Each structure stands twice: as structure tokens, then as C-alpha cells.
Amino acid sequence: MQFPKDIFISYAHIDDESLVESQKGWISEFHRALEIRLAQLLGRRPIIWRDPALQGNHIFDQQIVDQFAQVAVVISILTPRYVKSEWCIREVNEFYESCQRNIGFSIQNQARIFKVIKTPVKVELHPEKIRNILGYEFYTTDPQTGRPKELAQVFGQQSEKLYWEKLDDLANDLAAFLENLEYPQTGGAINTTDNNGKDSIRIYLAESSYETQTFRDSIRRELQDNGYSITPDRQLPLIAPVLVEEVNSFLHQSQLSIHLVGENYGIVPEGTQKSIIELQNEVAAAASSNGQLERLIWIPEGKEAKEERQQSFVNKLNEGKDGVTGADLLYGSLEEFKSVMMDKIESIKRKQQKEEAPKEVAATVSGSGLVYLICDMQDLPDIQVLEDFLFNNGYEVVLPLFEGEESMIREDHIENLKMCHAAIIYYGNGNEIWLRSKTRDFLKINGYGREKPIGLKAIYLASPSNASKERFRTLEAEVINGLQGVPEEQLKSLLSKI
């Protein structure tokens, strides 16, 4: 259905007053930028309407209400003033009633009011009709002071970058929604159909603490750009029993859940002593126990717990005690995590296709197995003795690539981890940072898309000897002491189990 007007912007007049006399107000600049970006996405100039003469003491204008029947979407720009304005609240309610008289307020589970949060306001103060709608947060929180900082061009380069990213997210979602209204059979993200199974994969992207929101937005953007369906699609309640019930409902429909764990413990809902972050993880762990839900838990590099409760939560995850059922616990950069995430999704798709297709006999590597021998380039001259031993005992040996583009080398490394029957890290001339990086890859193996556990994960201690190697031990892999030569019997015993 087509509407004469695409968008009405509902806002409080005080929020368009500029801090700098010579510049446009925040709302005016938002209106201008959104109109241009939407025009680029839609291929036509959108009709966006707002009343620039709004004043807090004006009598509510019935002419505005009369035009709501002609409007496809309303953008409510939430601020402390907005939620206190009888006028603004009435605009929300009147548009809601108008929607009920034509095509409805919600189209394919997406509301016709888009909530832009310019300045944070407690959820319970949001207009009732849109309280449970997820908003577009045009602000960040200062990690030092905890104070919100609005996204705007006048607040510096980083703020401006985040502003344009958030505006682009909003514009893309609006364009998809408007196109779906106009062309219901060919619309964008709302009516996604994908021949590669994207429409059958739903991903639960857990709510996270404020300092990880930028990461979460980037992950959500990546998933949306690839056409995947993401939940939760509405505001989670802050009452523990109701929250658990809703999260369970979302997870029941999902094939993958993603959890970000940062520096702060997060909001604690009413009726519990656990944060919303830990609660979601616990519910997902329970849902994953039946093997139908895959999970990724990511701790971004450089993010260390700042609170005792958060440190306790992270310790439990690291120790594998609670909340790690069905999950791969990952550390690293955002780009590394995205790579693992997309590999995991590909693995889920392959699993779905295998379940739907007739069973076939899996191809196997000739011989007793494939051993991926991971080493530093400095160790190539010394590794031949171990390589020859493995080959002479019937194992195909693969070494890492050392030449080529970094992305190609990394891709080959991941493919080797996915294919091999055994992976052995040769710890000779490489330093401890190198070893730690390679050991972490053992934790990420399932996330890379590997369908079965790796038969043997080992760290081979080789010369030169040092105090660190002499006392080296780990629970993540078998330790093979080759400082005095190849321990043939130990190797044969370990390899016989793969």
C-alpha cells in the first residue's frame, strides 16, 4: 500500500535548538541527512514531514492528527522533554489509533513507529505504545564517567562517525520497510527469502553492556547486510521471570546465539541478583543442552572486568563451570570474531543441508589421518625430524603457509584446522605471544565451522630449552616434551587415538 507521505518526524521543539548559534538544530540536521540518504536508497525523494513551528505550550493541532491517515511511518525522537510533553505523547497515541483504522500498527512484526533515542530516558518513561520497541540509540556512554554523550557532528570525529553509522542503519531499515509496504512481494529485509537458507537461520544477538554497544551494532549490521533474521526484535523486559520467558521464546526459534562479555556487569532486572547479560547466557546454555542451539561467547580484546561481579562471571566462563554449555568462548578483535561468526553460520547451513539431503558416505583422507603441524617460520629447518617421523608412521603432514597476503595465510590456517585429524603446535623459536595466539585457535576450532571435535590437540615443546618451557602445562591440549628428542612412544600412543 502506498501512502501520500512517507514519514512524519515527531519531536519536542527544545531538542532542535542548536548549541552553536550559527548551526542548524539537531532535528533539522537529522531531517536533512535522513532525507538525502533515504533518497539514495529508495531511488526517489521521500516525503518527510514535520512541523518546525511546534512549541511546548501550543494547543494540539487537529490538522496534524487528520494527516496521520496519509503517513506510512512516524519517527519519534525520544528525549527527556519528549516523554514529558503531552503533545508528543498524544502524537504517538493518535498515530497508533490511525494505524488501527487502516493497515494496522505492526507489519510483519515491525512497528510503524521507529524510535530514535537522542538522549537516554528510562524505558518505563517511554510512551506506552512504543515502550517495547527497540530503538536506535543516537548516543554513547562515556566509559570513565558513565555519562551519555549524544552523537552529533559538533562533538568530534568519533562521534560524527558513529552518528553516520547509526543514521545509515536507520535509513536502510526505513527503506526496506517502505519498499515492503509499496511492493509487498519484493520488499527488503522484512520479507526476506533466500535460496541459500538465510531465511531459515535466526540469530539471537544478546543484549550487552553499554561499553560493547558499538561492537554489538557492528555485528548486527554485518548480519543484517547478509540477510539474516535477528532477535530480540523488541525491548527485553526488566522483570526477571518475564525476561527469562521471552528469551526462551526467542532462543527456541534460533539456531545461533551470540553473547558479548565486556568490562561491566550490566543492568540487573527486578527479581534477581544476576545481570541481564548473565541471565541471557544462562538461559541460552540451558537451551543449548539439547544440541539444537549453537553459541558463541566473545570477550573483545582489551576488555577486562572492572567489577567484582563481572570478574566472577568471566572466571566461571574461563573455567568452564557455568554458562558455557554448547558455546565456543572466544577472545580477540572484532574482525577476528566476525570471521569466526560467519564460519559458524556456514557450518549451521551445511548441517541443515546435510539433514535435509540424503545421507552420503563422507570422504576420508587417505592413510591414517591428516596432521596439521603448526610452527613459526624460524622452526622450518628444525621441524623436519618430527615431520619425517609422522610421515613414516602413515600420517599426511601439512605445514602453514608463510608467503602471500595475510588474509590468504589466515584463510589457509583456518582451512587446515577444519580439515585435520590432529593439530600439533611446534613450540620452538616462537615466543609466548605467538604460542598464546595459536593455542587460542584451538578454542575457536568449532567456531571456524568444524563439525566434529579434533582428534588430537597438542603442544610439542622443542629446543631451545628455557625455564618457561620446563614448567609449561595446559588443560587445553596434550603436552609433548621433545626437548631431548622425539618422544616416539608418547606420539604413537596419542596419534593412535585419532
pLDDT of the residue at 11:
94
Give the length of the chain.
498
What H or E segment, with its residue span, contains residue 142?
none
For residues 450 and 378, the model is more confident at 378
Could you give the CA distance from residue 178 to residue 118 in angstroms, rounded to a whole number? 23
For residues 447 and 130, the model is more confident at 130
Q: How many CB atoms are located within 10 Å of the residue 364 CB?
A: 9
Looking at the predicted structure, is the pLDDT value of residue 114 above 50? yes
What domains sit in the chain, N to C, each tagged with a CATH number? Answer: 1-191 (3.40.50.10140), 193-360 (3.40.50.10140), 369-495 (3.40.50.450)
Tens digits of residue pLDDT in 284-322: 999 987 777 999 999 998 888 888 999 999 999 988 767
Any residues with CB less than 8 A from the CB of 122 and at least 6 apart, and which?
A: none
Which whole number is the average pLDDT over 272-286? Answer: 94
Could you give the CA distance from residue 127 to residue 92 in angstroms, rounded to a whole number? 7
pLDDT of the residue at 378:
94
Could you give the CA distance from residue 476 to residue 457 in angstroms, rounded to a whole number? 8
Instruction: Give the three cell numbers for residue 289.
Output: 543442552
User: Across the strands, what pairs with 260?
Assistant: 298
Tens digits of residue pLDDT in 325-349: 888 899 999 999 999 999 889 888 8
Looking at the predicted structure, is the pLDDT value of residue 22 above 60? yes
The proportion of the chain whose per-residue pLDDT surpasses 70, expressed as a percent, equals 90
pLDDT of the residue at 91:
93
Q: How many CB atoms are located within 10 Å of the residue 388 CB?
A: 12
pLDDT band for position 492 (cuts 50, 70, 90)? very high
Q: Of 54-58, 369-373, 393-397, which range is least confident?
A: 54-58
Looking at the predicted structure, is the pLDDT value of residue 57 above 60? no
Tens digits of residue pLDDT in 161-212: 899 999 999 999 999 899 988 876 544 444 434 445 555 789 999 999 988 9
Q: Of 89-98, 301-310, 456-465, which range is least confident?
A: 301-310
Looking at the predicted structure, is the pLDDT value of residue 36 above 90? yes
Q: Are strands 113-117 and 135-137 parallel, antiparallel or unpaired?
A: parallel
pLDDT of the residue at 38:
96
Tens digits of residue pLDDT in 142-159: 777 878 889 886 677 888
Tens digits of residue pLDDT in 213-270: 889 999 998 998 888 989 998 889 889 999 999 999 999 999 999 999 999 999 999 9
pLDDT of the residue at 51:
79
Looking at the predicted structure, is the pLDDT value of residue 441 above 90? no
Looking at the predicted structure, is the pLDDT value of residue 359 above 70? no
pLDDT band for position 281 (cuts 50, 70, 90)? very high
pLDDT of the residue at 52:
65
pLDDT of the residue at 446:
65
Could you give the CA distance from residue 24 to residue 138 in angstroms, rounded to a whole number? 17
